[in-house]
Amino acid sequence: MSAELPHFNLSLGDSGYPNLSWLLTPVRNIRTGAENHYNDAHGRTRRIIERTFGLLKARFRCLQLTDGSLCYSPEKLCQIVVACCMLHNLAIRRHVPFLLEEGTGDAPGAAVDPEDNEDEEAEDEDVDNRTSVICQYFQ
């Protein structure tokens, strides 16, 4: 089964999330080389994303909250994150150093490796998109 995938409608999630039709998660029980390649690419991509989040949180403490959520609407959050990204890029171009708060232990770009969720694989229809991606790009 080779269906055309709406790439812009798929998101990347770590193994802590359930496998959903719109969310690509790692394969838990790898059976093929293609699944192994997919997991490797998935992990590399996630590490880049997590490092980026770490950099933004280190530079902009307003993004770092202990409970993991900011009390704004999704639209406002998008504006805040985009503004932080723009300011971060400007700071890089102008060679502005990171100013780490003493005692936080946060290093810029520190990757986060969430623990695996032990839930079983999702329903077959939820695995179809991931299987299609694996077949189309990792064979």
Rg over alpha carbons for the chain, rounded to the nearest Å, is 18
User: For residue 101, what are its two tokens?
Assistant: 């708060």
Res 87: pLDDT: 96
| Span 66-118, pLDDT tens digits | 566 778 888 998 899 999 999 999 999 999 987 765 544 444 544 333 334 33
Give the predicted TM-score (pTM) of the model: 0.63
Give me the DSSP letters along 3-67: PPP-GGG-EE--TTSPPBTTEE---SS--SHHHHHHHHHHHHHHHHHHHHHHHHHHH-GGG--TT
pLDDT at 101: 56
3-state SS track over 66-91: CCCCCCCCHHHHHHHHHHHHHHHHHH
